Amino acid sequence: MSRSDAHAQVLVIGSGAGGATTAAVLAEAGLDVLVVEEGGWVEQGSVVPFSLEQMDRQYRAGGVTVALGLPSIAYTEGRCAGGGTEINSGLYRRPPADVLARWAVDYRIRDFDPDELFAIADEVERDLSVGLRPGAATPASEVLRRGADRLGWQNDEIPRWMAYPPDGNASQAHRQSMTRTYLPRAERAGARIEVGCRVDRLELDGPRARAAHVTHADGRRNTVRFGDAFVCGGAIQSPALLQRSGIRGHIGKTLAVHPTVKLAARFADVVNTVDDVPVHQVTEFAPDLSFGGSASQPGLVALALSDHWAAFHTAMTDWQRISVYYAAITSEGRGAVRSVRGVRDPIVTYRLTRRDRELLRSGLARLALVMLEAGAEEVYPSFRDAPVVRNRADLARLQDRFVAGRASVMTVHLCSTVPLGEAEGITGASSYGKVHGTDNVWVNDASLLPTAPGVNPQATVMAIAIRNARRFAASRSARG
Amino acid sequence: MAEPRQTLEPPATTVVTGAAGWLGTALVHRLLAEGRPRLRLLARDTAQAASLRALGDVHVVIGDIARSQTAARLLHDVDGPCDVIHAAGLIHPRIVRDLYEANADGTRHLARAARRAGVRRFVHVSSNSPFGTNPHVADVFRAEEPYHPYYAYGRSKMLAELEIADAVERGLDAVVVRPPWFYGPHQPPRQTTFFKLVRAGRFPVIGDGQQRRSMVYVGNLVDGVLAAELTVGIAGRGFWIADARPYTVTEIVATVGRALADEGFSVKPPGRPMPAIVGRVAELADRLIQRTGRYVQQVHVLGEMDKTIACEIGTSRRDLGYEPAVELYEGMRRSISWCVATGIEL
C-alpha cells in the first residue's frame, strides 16, 4: 500500500477464521478485496508451537491479556495473519443443532437454517482436511479416555483440521490454518493482503462509512477508502474498533466466554507430549462442562503449578510425567469491551455468576476424579493454596478450599460482542452481520455468535462467516 | 454388551442395624414378608427392641452403634452365610460430635467386625450428603462423583464411605447404597412437620421453586438395598437409589398438596415463595451454628431448601436391575394413609 490513499471495493479488517473466509468468498465472487491484518505473516514451522517466540510473534500483547473482574480472566488472542487459527489447538466441533435453533428464536435471526450451516460445514471440513488423528492417541490424550471410561463417562476424540503425511505420521502433521487455506485462496482470486496494518478507526458520514484510518507497523499512517467494510478482528478488537469509530448500539456489551480452570497431573509413566495437545474430550456433562487436555510444554507445566508454587514446585523435576488438563464451562456471566479514548487496547471486564463459580469448582473436582481413575499419582489443581490430590478424600479438600477468586481462570473462546439478529436491544448487527444503524459496516467473526456455543467455536465462526459473505456477494452481483 | 446380572441366594442370617428407624422398619417388614430365615437386628434401646419384637420372629441386640463392643456383640457367633445391612445413622444430632461418633466411628467398628466374622455381603446405607449439592439446576450426580460433603452430616457420611472403601481394600465384600431424601410409611415425627407445612400453604419454597430434588419412596429404597445385597461382583461400588426422576420443589409441594387433598385433608394453596436470600442466610446461619458444634434442624433444612440435589439411577438400573416402582404422588398417598392409620395427626 502506498503512503497515499488506497481503495478497495471491500475492506476486510482482520484475517482469522472470520476474515480469511470472508475474503476468499468475496474475492472468488469477483469483488475487489483488500485484507488488512495488524499482525505479521508467520510461516508455519518457523516458530515452535506454544513457545515464547510464538507468543511474541503471533499473540496479542505477548500472549496473555486480562479481563478484569473477580476473578480476573486471562485470555489469549491471535495477532497475526490467520489470527487464532494459527495458534489454537486445531480442534473442530460443529455447532450443536439445538444451540443454532435457540439462537434463531431468541435473537430472531432471519434465514438461519441449521441445514444450510451444516452444508457449509461439510465444505469447510473438506477444505481444512478435518479428520481424526491417524495412529494411537498420545499418552496425555489416552489419560482422558481411560479415566472417563472407568467412570462410565462419555468421551470422544475431537477431529482436527490437520493434513497428515501419507505415512500417517501424526507428528508430521500440518495445521490447515488460514495462512494455508483460505488466505492463499483469497489471494489466488485477486484479493490483496496487507500485514502489519492496524485500523485505528473508521470514518463515518452518518450511517455510511467512507474510509479507514490505518497505521502501519513502521508508523506510517494513511486512509483506505472502500465501498463496504467487514470488521473481522475477533470478539475483542471488532467491537473496540466500532466503538473507536463512534458507532453506538449493542456493541461490546455482552462478551461471552468459556471460562476454564486447570490442573496438572503426574503419572507413573511419561505422558508429556511437548509438541501436541490431547484430542480427547470428556463430554459427559456437555455443554455445561467439558474436559480436555492443554498444551504442556515445560513452561506451561510450570505455569499450571505456579498458583501454589511453594507446595507444587518440586513436581517440576518430573515434568515429563506431567500433563496439563482443563475444565471448561458455559458461563451465565457476561463481560464488556470498552474502548477508552487515547488508550490503544480496550478495557475488558467479565463477571462470573454464582452458578459459574459452582460449576468451575465441581468441574475441577470431576476432572481431578478422571485423573485419579486414569492412575494419576498426584494432581495439582491450579488455584492458590490448592491441596495436592492423591485420593478421593483429597477431592473433598479440593472442593472445600476452592474459591473461584483464587483460581487461574482463563479462556481462549471469546464471542458475542456484536450478536446478530433482529431482536431489539440484544443484537448489534443484522441477521447477516450488518452493524445496526450503518449502511456498509459489517461484522463477520466470533463477535456475531449470540452466546458461547459450548464447543470449540471455530467451526461455527467459519460457517456463519461464509453464510454471510455469500449473502453479501449475491446481493452485490444481483445489483450489478 | 453388559454381562447378565448374577444374584446370590438370601443368606442364612441377615443383620440389620438401625432396624427400628424409618428405612430399618420398612426393611424388616419386607424381610419378614419374604420369609428370610434369621434376622438379627440392632436396636438403640428397650423401647425400640420391643417394637421390633412385635413385628415377628427376630433376634434383637440392644446397643449404641458408636461403641465398638456393640458391633462385636451383634456379629458374635453367626454361622452360615451372613449379610449385613448397615442402615443405622444419625441425621439430626443434638450436638455435631454425635454425628461423627455414630456415622463414621460406628461404620468403622461394624465393618471391622464384619470382616472378622466373615460376612458375605455388607450393604452400607449412605446419603447424598457426602456429595453436597449440584453446581446448577440442570446438573445430575453420576454414579461416581468427587466428595463435597454438605456440612458435618455430609462429612460424617463421607468418612463412613471412606471406612467402607478401606474395608473393601482389606477384603470385605461391601457396597454402598445412596438414597436421597426419602418418604413413605414408618416416617419419623419430624416428617409430619413437612405435611403440616404443606397443608397450611406454608412450605418454604425458596426463589423460583425450580430447584430439583431426587427423592426416594421408602419401598423403592428397600428394593434397591436388597438388589445391592444380592447382586454378585459389585464390591466397592456405590449406587444411587432414587425415584425414576428428580422433582422440582414446586412439583413436590403441589403433588403433596394433591395427595393430602385426595386423602381427604383440607389444603391451603401455597403461599408466596421466599426470596432466594432467605436460603442463603439460613445456609450461612447453619454454617455458623455448626461451627460452634451445635445443630439446629430447622435452620439446617431451610439452608438446604434452595439447592438442587439430583442424581441419576441409570447405573443402578443396569447393574442392580433396580426399577423404582412407586412415584411421588402414589408414594405420598401411601405415606399419608399410613399416618392416618397409625393415628398420627397431620
| CA-based nearest distance B333→chain A, Å | 35
Residue of B nearest to A372 (CA): B146
Chain A residues close to B312, C-beta within 8 Å:
none
Q: What pLDDT does residue A46 have?
A: 79
Give the closest residue to B146 by CA, choosing from A126, A391, A117: A391
| CA-based nearest distance A356→chain B, Å | 8
Give the closest residue to B40 by CA, choosing from B74, B65, B67, B66: B74
User: Can you tell me the distance from the alpha carbon of A454 to that of A415, in angstroms, rounded to the nearest whole number?
Assistant: 11
Q: What pLDDT does residue B29 have?
A: 97
Answer yes or no: are the C-beta atoms of B294 and B286 closer than 8 Å: no
What's the CATH number where B236 sits?
3.40.50.720
Provide Rg for chain A, Cα atoms: 22
Nearest to B162 among A359, A369, A393 (CB): A393
Q: Does a structural domain hold residue B7? A: no
Q: What pLDDT does residue B1 have?
A: 43
Q: Considering the candidates A250, A258, A280, A413, report the single residue annotated as catalytic.
A: A413
Chain B residues close to A355, C-beta within 8 Å:
135-136
Q: Enumerate residues 6+ apart whose C-beta is below 8 A from A310.
A: none
Q: Where are the alpha helices (DSSP H) in A207-247?
A: 234-244
Q: What pLDDT does residue B278 have?
A: 76
Chain A residues close to B138, C-beta within 8 Å:
288
Q: Which residue has the higher pLDDT, A304 or A2?
A: A304
| CA-based nearest distance A48→chain B, Å | 37
Q: Does B142 touch chain A (CB under 8 A)?
A: yes
Chain A residues close to B132, C-beta within 8 Å:
399
Nearest to A288 among B139, B148, B315 (CB): B139
Contact A392 B149 (CB under 8 A): no
| B189 φ/ψ sector (left φ>0, alpha ψ -120 to 50, else beta) | alpha
Residue A140 pLDDT > 60: yes
- Quick one: cell of A465? 462467516
Q: Does B148 touch chain A (CB under 8 A)?
A: yes
Provide Rg for chain B, Cα atoms: 20
Q: Which residues pair with A182 in a beta bridge?
A: none
pLDDT grade, residue A479 (50/70/90)? low
Q: What pLDDT does residue A4 have?
A: 57
**DSSP tag of A417:** S
Q: Enumerate residues 6+ apart whose C-beta is below 8 A from B212.
A: B134, B137, B246, B247, B248, B249, B308, B309, B310
| CA-based nearest distance A344→chain B, Å | 39
Residue of B nearest to A148 (CA): B144
Place of cell 463512534: A246
Chain B residues close to A261, C-beta within 8 Å:
none
Answer yes or no: are the C-beta atoms of A357 and A404 closer than 8 Å: yes
Domain boundaries, position B63? 13-187+215-244+310-327
Q: Does a structural domain hold residue B336? A: no
Instruction: Count Cβ–Cβ pairs < 8 Å, chain A vs chain B.
Output: 60
pLDDT grade, residue A62 (50/70/90)? low
Q: Does A74 touch chain B (CB under 8 A)?
A: no
| CA-based nearest distance B158→chain A, Å | 8
Q: Which stretches of chain B score pLDDT less than 50?
A: 1
Give the closest residue to B11 by CA, choosing from B320, B323, B167, B226: B226
Give the closest residue to A462 by CA, choosing from A191, A122, A133, A189: A122
Q: Does a structural domain hold residue B149? A: yes
**Mutate which of A353, A362, A401 to disrupt the B interface (most B C-beta within 10 Å)?**
A362
Burial of B9 (0-12, 13-18, 19+ CB in 10 A): exposed
User: Can you tell me the distance from the alpha carbon of A36 to that of A11, in angstroms, rounded to the nearest whole number?
Assistant: 8
Give the closest residue to B258 by CA, choosing from B346, B211, B195: B195
pLDDT grade, residue A1 (50/70/90)? very low
Residue of B nearest to A398 (CA): B148
Q: Enumerate residues 6+ apart whose C-beta is below 8 A from B343.
A: none
Mean pLDDT, to the nearest integer, of A374-398?
Answer: 97
User: Can you tell me the distance from the alpha carbon of A68 to that of A42, in angstroms, rounded to the nearest whole number?
Assistant: 30
Q: Does a structural domain hold residue B199? A: no
**DSSP tag of B78:** -
Interface subset of A 398-417, CB within 8 angstroms of B: 398-400
| CA–CA–CA angle A103, A109, A110 (5° rounding) | 140
Q: What pLDDT does residue B2 have?
A: 56
Residue of B nearest to A151 (CA): B144
Side chain identity, residue A379: V
Instruction: Say what the pTM is.
Output: 0.93
Supply the DSSP string of A425-470, one letter for each residue. TT-SB-TTSBBTT-SSEEE-SGGG-SS--SS--HHHHHHHHHHHHH
Q: Does a structural domain hold residue B253? A: no
Residue A480 pLDDT > 60: no
Nearest to B148 among A151, A363, A399 (CB): A399
Mean pLDDT, to the nearest integer, of A388-412?
Answer: 94
Chain B residues close to A396, C-beta within 8 Å:
130, 146-149, 155, 158
- Quick one: cell of A49? 508451537
Give the closest residue to A18 by CA, choosing from A475, A454, A449, A455: A449
Contact B149 A369 (CB under 8 A): no
Q: What pLDDT does residue B188 have?
A: 85
> Does the annotation mark A413 as catalytic?
yes
Q: Does B2 touch chain A (CB under 8 A)?
A: no
Q: Does B144 touch chain A (CB under 8 A)?
A: yes
Q: Does a structural domain hold residue B296? A: no
Three-state SS annotation for A333-364: CEEEEECCCCCCCCEEEEECCHHHHHHHHHHH
Q: Does a structural domain hold residue B197? A: no
Q: What pLDDT does residue A144 have?
A: 98
Q: Does B139 touch chain A (CB under 8 A)?
A: yes
Q: Does A369 touch chain B (CB under 8 A)?
A: yes
Residue of A nearest to B145 (CA): A366
Residue of B nearest to A149 (CA): B144
What digits encode the pLDDT tens for the residues A413-427? 999 999 999 999 999
Mean pLDDT, to the nearest integer, of A371-394?
Answer: 97
Contact B145 A363 (CB under 8 A): no
**Mutate which of A283, A358, A391, A392 to disrupt the B interface (most B C-beta within 10 Å)?**
A392
Q: What pLDDT does residue B233 have?
A: 95
Nearest to A392 among B136, B138, B147 (CB): B147
| CA-based nearest distance B287→chain A, Å | 13
The count of domains in chain B is: 1
Chain B residues close to A285, C-beta within 8 Å:
139
Q: Does B132 touch chain A (CB under 8 A)?
A: yes
What digits encode the pLDDT tens for the residues A106-118? 999 999 999 999 9
